[in-house]
Amino acid sequence: EDKVVQSPLSLVVHEGDTVTLNCSYEVTNFRSLLWYKQEKKAPTFLFMLTSSGIEKKSGRLSSILDKKELFSILNITATQTGDSAIYLCCSHNTNAGKSTFGDGTTLTVKP
Amino acid sequence: NAGVTQTPKFQVLKTGQSMTLQCAQDMNHNSMYWYRQDPGMGLRLIYYSASEGTTDKGEVPNGYNVSRLNKREFSLRLESAAPSQTSVYFCASSGIQGIYEQYFGPGTRLTVT
């Protein structure tokens, strides 16, 4: 059974801090790992990492994938209150098109 | 271009009642999914449809049925609702699974009393 574990489950920081969110996975026939941001509504896509794209960056957010150690991290630098959200990690395998989500990390950024 | 739409947004059911959640996408995506999200938890896959005409069980399919009506529409049916099915339900769609990201609908908040 595919498994995705995120840590920490929750995190409280102040504006300007840098945070690192962790995601470990055990997935048969791994294809890709995705990060989503969920505010008080539906998740929105941040990054996809595959064997051919193991590091992604967009503004203050960046993510890496370590396929040997089976984990990914999401970094957010110079955090802002608008970064407050649940961050979800999701794995895809190649068989049967299934996706598996972790329980998410709830990030709270205080002014 | 509305993306992924879901109806209804809210629903309250009594135990044993049935209902169908509707989902439609206008992005010409092949794959569609139904998830449920309980407080403090991530998304759990109920059913998915890799392409029109096919459906498969996800992690938590018991108590649910689905229909991929056409390429655009994917419905989720609760035949006999139970309090354990109280949750927020999200529909999503994507291009080829695993190669493209998923786009999510706004969700349906379902309460079963």
pLDDT score recorded for residue B97: 65
Contact B73, B4 (CB under 8 A): no
* Rounded distance between C-alpha atoms, residue B33 and residue B14, angstroms: 25
Q: Do B48 and A97 touch (CB under 8 A)?
A: yes
- Per-residue pLDDT tens over the stretch B42-84: 899 999 998 888 999 998 999 999 999 899 999 999 999 999 9
What average pLDDT does this structure show over A29-50? 91
Q: Compute how many other C-beta atoms are within 10 angstroms of the C-beta atom of residue A72.
A: 25
Residues of A in contact with B105 (CB under 8 A): 42
The reply to whether B50 touches chain A by the CB within 8 Å rule is yes
Q: Compute how many other C-beta atoms are within 10 angstroms of the C-beta atom of residue B59.
A: 17
Question: Does pLDDT of A13 surpass 70?
Answer: yes
The reply to whether B45 touches chain A by the CB within 8 Å rule is yes
- Least CB-CB distance to B106: which of A4, A6, A41? A41
Q: Which residue has the higher pLDDT, B21 or A51?
A: B21
| Nearest chain B alpha carbon to A46 | B101
Question: Does pLDDT of B108 surpass 70?
Answer: yes
pLDDT score recorded for residue B84: 96
Question: Does pLDDT of A14 surpass 90?
Answer: yes
* Rounded distance between C-alpha atoms, residue B47 and residue A98, angstroms: 9
pLDDT score recorded for residue A97: 63
* Rounded distance between C-alpha atoms, residue A44 and residue B104, angstroms: 7
What average pLDDT does this structure show over A87-105? 86
- Least CB-CB distance to B98: which of A42, A97, A104? A97
Q: How far is A15 from chain B (nearest CA, A)?
A: 24
pLDDT score recorded for residue B70: 94
The reply to whether B99 touches chain A by the CB within 8 Å rule is yes
Q: Do B98 and A92 touch (CB under 8 A)?
A: yes
Give the pLDDT band of residue A95 (cuts 50, 70, 90).
low
